[in-house]
Chain A
Amino acid sequence: MKLRLLVALAVVALLPWILHTPYWRGILIVCAMNVMLALSLNLVLGYAGQLNLGQSAFFAIGAYVSTILVKTWGWNFWLAGLAAMIAAGLLGLALSAFAVRLRGHYLAIASLGFAVITYQILINWEAVTEGVRGIYGISPPPGFRSPVALFYLVAGIALIVYRVLDNLVRSPVGETLRSIREDEVSAAAIGVDAARWKAFAFGLGAAIAGLSGCFYPGFVGTLVPDAFNIVESFTMLAMVIVGGMGTMIGPVIGAVVLTFLPELLRGFGELRLMIYGLALTVVVLFLPGGIVQGWHALRARFS
C-alpha cells in the first residue's frame, strides 16, 4: 500500500516534466479532473449501482458556483470552492431524495433530465451565469498560476479523493453499498436502509464532481454552458466502463485512456471520434469488465 502511494506520487511528480509542452501539461490537468469525475461516478454507479447520467450537472454546478462566488461576490477561491462542493453535494442529495424511488432506466432518464435542466438554466439565467456569452477572465487558484503547479494541485486532490474512496469502499460502508447494488430487497431484509445509503453515495459522488468542477474555470479561463453539455455525462460513463466499473483503479485507467486517446488520434482528423466511438463499443462487447478485466486475463495467462 505504501509502495503504491509512493509510485503514484512519483508518477504525478514526474509527469509534467515528461510531457513538458504547455499543450500536454494542459491535457494533464484535464486528465486529473477527469480522474476525479470518473471516481465520483464510479462510486454512484459501480458501488451503489445507480445508473446516473447526470454527473455533468454537478461538475457544472461546481464550476459555476465557485466562479460566481469569486467573481461576483469577491469570495476567497478556497472558500468558494468549498461552498461549491457543498452546493453540488446538497443538490445531489436533493436529487437522490427523489431518485431513490426510481429504478434502473427511470433513474437514468431522470438524471439525464436533471442534466438537461441544469444546462438550460445555465443558458437562460443570464443575469447570473451570463448565458451563452460566458464568463471571461477567470484566474487560476491563487498560488497555483503556473500549469505545473495547477497540475500538482488537482492531481494531489485527485489522489486524496482516491485514498478516501478506497478506504470507504473497503469499510463496512462499501460492503453496505455493494449489498444494495447486488440485491436491494435482500439488503433491506438484513436491515440495510437502502434509501439512505443510496442518497449518501449520490450526494458524495455529486460533491466530488463539484470539487473537480472548481478547478475547471481557472484552468480554461472562460466558462460557457456548452462545456457541460449532457454529452459530458456520457464521456464520464465511458471512462468508468472502459476502465472497469466497480473497481477503484479502473475508472482512473479509463479516465487516463479516454483523455489521451482522442489527443493521440488527432492525426486521424475527422476519423478521430469515429475511432473513439468504435473503441467504446468494442470494449463493451469484448471486455465487459473493462481494461482491468483485460489486465487480469493477461496476467492469468502469463503467470
Chain B
Amino acid sequence: MTAFLALFAQQSLNGIYLGCLYVMVALGLTLIYGVLNQINFAHADFVTVGAFVAFFTATRLAARGLGLPDTAAYFVSIVLACGAGALLGLAINAAVFAPLRDRGDELRPLIATIGVSVLLENGQLALFGPIPYQFDSPFSRETLRLGPLFLTGQNLLVIGVTAAAIIALYAFLRLTFLGKALRAVAQDRETAGLMGINPGLLIGLTIVISSALAGMAGALLGPALVLTPFAGSTVIVKAFAIVVMGGFGNIEGTIVAGVLIGVVEAFTVQYLGSGVIDLVVFALLLLMLAVRPTGLIAERREENV
C-alpha cells in the first residue's frame, strides 16, 4: 500500500512538472485568444526557437564564450530565449496579426500563421539540420530525496519558474493600469477604444508577452524534448487541447487543464505506455467537449444577433 502511495505521489509530481511545461506553452495561446480571438499556429515554433536559442547560449556562448558556470549559463539562456520569443512576437504581430486584425475574419490569420510555422520550421531545418541535439540542463543532474520521492533540480526550477510567471502575469493583469486596459480590450475592443485605450498597442503587447512565454517555455522544455526543428509541434497539439479544455481565453481554466493533462500523461505512461498518450489526451478532450462544449470554466459571452 505504501509502495503504491509512493508511486502515486511520484507520478503526480512528475505530472505536475510536465503540466507546468504545458501551461507555459498554453498560456500564450490563451492570452492571444483572449484579446484577439485568434489562434497562433506558429506558437509551437516560437517554443522551438526558444529551445534552440537556449541550447546555443547555454552550451556555446555563455559557457565557452564568457566562461560562466553551467547553472549561470542556463539562466542566461532562459532570459535570452525569452527575448527571442518576444522578438518573434513583435515580428508576427507586425506581419500577420496587425494587418489582418480589423477584417474580423477568424480563418485567414490562422492560415497565415500556418504559413509562418512552415517557414520557421524549414528555416530551422536549413540552419540546424534534422539530427536531434542533446540539450542537458545542469539542474537535471542534481536530485533531491524527499522521503520516498525523487525530484531533480530541473523539476523544481520548472515548477518555480512557472509559478513565478503565473504570479507575475496575474499581478500585471490585476494590479497595473496597463493590465486593466488589457482586460478592457479583451472584454470589448471597440468600447475600450472609445475610452482612449489603443487596442492595437495592447494586442501587440499581449502577443509579445505570449511569445516571450513561449520562448521561455522552449528553454525549459529543451532538456525534456527531442530537440529538432519540429520539436515544438509535438507539444503544441497538447497545448491546443489544454486551451480548449480550459475554455478559450480563460487563464485559470488553462492552468487547471494544463496541470490535469500533465498528471494524466504521467499516469498514462505508468499504466498504458507512452505510445498512447496523444490518444488518451485527445479522447479526454473530445469527451469533455461532448459534456461541456465551452471548456472546464465556461466562457462568458453573449450571442450577438
State the A residues within 8 Å of B (CB): 45, 51, 98, 101-102, 104-106, 108-110, 112-114, 116-117, 120-121, 123-124, 185-186, 230, 234, 237-238, 241, 245, 270-274, 276-282, 284-285, 288
Contacts and interface: CB of A to CB of B under 8 A. Distances in A.
B285 A285 contact: no
Determine which residue in B33, B103, B241 has the highest number of CB atoms from chain A within 10 A of its CB, and name it: B241
B212 interface: no
A280 B111 contact: yes
B179 to A, nearest CB: 24
A106 B111 contact: no
A110 B243 CA distance: 11
Majority SS at the chain B contact face = helix
B106 A106 contact: no
B96 A110 contact: no
Interface in B135-178: none
Size class of the contact patch on chain B: 35 or more
B283 to A, nearest CB: 6
Contact of B279 (A45, A112, A124, A272): A124
A79 to B, nearest CB: 31
A112 B115 contact: no
Given A108-B39, A284-B108, A285-B96, A120 B279 contact: yes
Contact of B123 (A51, A101, A274, A282): A274
Contacts of A101: 293
Contact of A106 (B244, B279, B283): B244
B119 A281 contact: yes
B286 interface: yes
A285 B99 contact: yes
Smallest CB-CB A-B distances: 10 pairs: A277-B118, A280-B115, A281-B115, A277-B119, A273-B122, A113-B282, A120-B279, A270-B126, A284-B112, A109-B244
B95 interface: yes
Given A110-B286, A238-B111, A281 B126 contact: no
Contacts of B188: none
Nearest to B282: A113
Nearest to B278: A120
24 contacts: A51-B106, A51-B110, A104-B106, A106-B293, A106-B294, A108-B39, A110-B244, A117-B282, A117-B283, A120-B278, A272-B122, A274-B122, A277-B118, A277-B119, A277-B121, A278-B115, A280-B114, A280-B115, A280-B118, A281-B112, A284-B100, A284-B108, A284-B115, A285-B99
Interface of B: 33, 37, 39, 95-96, 99-100, 103, 105-112, 114-123, 125-126, 237, 240-241, 243-244, 248, 275-276, 278-279, 282-283, 285-286, 289-290, 293-294, 303, 305
B276 A124 contact: yes
B98 to A, nearest CB: 11
Contacts of B123: 274
Contacts of B248: 105-106
A117 B293 contact: no
Given A109-B285, A117-B279, A237-B111, 5 more contacts: A105-B33, A116-B237, A117-B282, A276-B122, A285-B95
A113 B116 contact: no
Given A112-B240, A271-B126, A285-B99, A105 B106 contact: yes
